[in-house]
């Protein structure tokens, strides 16, 4: 009985919404020439920009409702793919563009290499368009003949918040 209760306790802990890992939600996924493109959202988060000499914290704004993330990975090995330029555009049902920005290349201990930023998206239905540029890196031979043109992934989402 004690073991059973302990197990239940463990499950409750793993499902606890206080764990930010558990609040990640997958929005959509597609594949492009062997690359898996996954759209994931988490709660708005602070992040550090260190792209010059001065580090700068970017704090979530009051209107931010999500940390939007684009995960690029090799569909066979799961290895993440860096060095791409990723741009995200959200359009509402009236056809108004409500968000249109380049994603930061990001690193995270839990999420790994990804592209993302905080997005002030009100609840509603949207079309998300994610444009991915060819990775700007020297390539080992297996990657020589793919991802040579920009790719656009468009999908519909219904955002209800966390
Ligand atoms: Cu991020």
Distance 40 CA to ligand 1 centre (A): 10
Select the more confidently predicted residue: 10 or 68.
68
- pLDDT of 52 reads 81
**Nearest to residue 88, comparing CAs of 118, 110, 57?**
118
Distance 37 CA to ligand 1 centre (A): 15
Distance 102 CA to ligand 1 centre (A): 13
3-state secondary structure (DSSP) of residue 14: helix
| DSSP assignment of 20-57 | GGGG-EEEEEEEETTEEEEEEEE----EEE-SSSS-EE
How is the chain split into domains, by residue range?
24-159
Distance 4 CA to ligand 1 centre (A): 37
- The proportion of the chain whose per-residue pLDDT surpasses 70, expressed as a percent, equals 86
Q: What is the DSSP letter of 133?
A: P
- To the question of domain 24-159 being in CATH 2.40.50.1020, the answer is no
152 class by beta-carbon count within 10 Å (0-12 exposed, 13-18 middle, 19+ buried): exposed
**Nearest to residue 88, comparing CAs of 32, 39, 158?**
39
- pLDDT of 15 reads 39
Distance 97 CA to ligand 1 centre (A): 22
Distance 146 CA to ligand 1 centre (A): 26
- pLDDT tens-digit map of 113-127: 999 999 999 999 999
Residue with tokens 């970017």: 58
Residue 13 has pLDDT above 80, yes or no: no
Q: Distance (Å, rounded) from C-alpha 69 to C-alpha 73? A: 13
Identify residues whose C-beta is under 5 A from ligand 1, the ion: 106, 116
Distance 5 CA to ligand 1 centre (A): 36
């Amino acid at each position: 009985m004690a073991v059973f209760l302990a197990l239940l306790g463990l499950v409750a802990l793993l499902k606890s919404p206080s764990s930010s890992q558990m609040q990640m939600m997958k929005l959509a996924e597609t594949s492009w020439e062997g690359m898996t493109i996954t759209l994931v959202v988490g709660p708005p988060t602070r992040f550090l920009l260190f792209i010059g000499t001065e580090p700068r914290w970017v704090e979530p704004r009051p209107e931010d409702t999500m940390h939007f993330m684009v995960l690029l990975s090799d569909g066979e090995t799961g290895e993440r793919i860096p060095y791409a330029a990723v741009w995200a555009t959200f359009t509402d049902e009236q056809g108004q563009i409500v968000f249109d920005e380049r994603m930061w290349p990001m690193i995270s201990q839990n999420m790994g290499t990804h592209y993302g930023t905080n997005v002030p998206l009100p609840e509603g239905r949207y079309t998300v368009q994610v444009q991915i540029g060819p990775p700007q890196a020297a390539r080992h031979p297996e990657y020589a003949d793919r991802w040579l043109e920009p790719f656009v992934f468009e999908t519909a989402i219904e955002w209800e918040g966390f």
